[in-house]
Amino acid sequence: MGFVRFGSLRRITPIAPIWPPRYKAAVDRVYIDGFLEREAMSIQGEVLEVGGLGYTNRFGGDRVTAGSVLHSPIGASPEVTYAADLVDAPEIPSEHFDCVILPQTLLFIYDLQPAVRTLHRILRPGGVVLATVPGITQTVPDDKERWGQYWSFTDQSLGRLFGDVFGPDRVTIESHGNVKTTIALLHGLAKEDLNARDFALDDPHYPLTLTVKAVRAEATP
């Protein structure tokens, strides 16, 4: 390959350590926010969001009739609607939600298949889950300690995980990222450290953020 000028990348420690976070908006938020903005029309009716109602309020607007918050029983505040483990969550009603927003959550759940079956169960027929997961990533000390950080994904593992439960034809997977945005994320940089051109290419060999839209089948008459 010859001569490479490493410049700022010569160091063997990250430019900005992952914890505590230096910025609110890490590089992967560009992909997460962009996905949920593009899918805004699915954010409607009864919506369940993990962690808070940030995306529900931002992209659902007047289409949302009710918003509920899901949080792991570990570290949940009294204000959350459901302090429940998605792996086994009988307290969340079946066939209830039009949309479930699940950003950056499945990596913290060891038993993925039962968690995805719960997502399918709690959606109304025709309801939609919008989820994002990391592909190439570092681990996050605080989250890892609280819930355990078990998984990074590829388009294939995410496609099979949801396809096995929802049916392959009801699942759409996207892979976002490229070598530059991936290096930036691993160094703890924020979207402000990059510019719009850096996000122009999604290289399938560098999955930084993967997204899944899965639609529960309509009830058959």
Q: Does 127 sit near ligand SAM (CB under 6 A)? A: no
Q: Which of 72, 182, 209, 211 binds ligand SAM (CB under 6 A)?
A: 72
Q: Which of 26, 64, 109, 210 binds ligand SAM (CB under 6 A)?
A: 109
Q: 24 near 32, Cβ under 8 Å? A: no
Q: What is d(CA 146, CA 198) in angstroms, rounded to the nearest whole number?
A: 33
Q: What is d(CA 76, CA 67) in angstroms, rounded to the nearest whole number?
A: 17
Q: Which helix (H) or strand (E) holds 98?
A: strand 97-103
Nearer to ligand SAM, 68 or 105 (CB): 105
Q: Is the peptide bond before 20 cis (omega within 30 degrees of 0)?
A: yes
Q: Does 151 sit near ligand SAM (CB under 6 A)? A: no
Q: Does 21 sit near ligand SAM (CB under 6 A)? A: no
Q: Does 211 sit near ligand SAM (CB under 6 A)? A: no
Q: Which stretch binds ligand SAM (CB under 6 A): 34-42, 103-111, 165-173, 213-221?
A: 103-111
3-state secondary structure of 127: strand
Nearer to ligand SAM, 109 or 129 (CB): 109
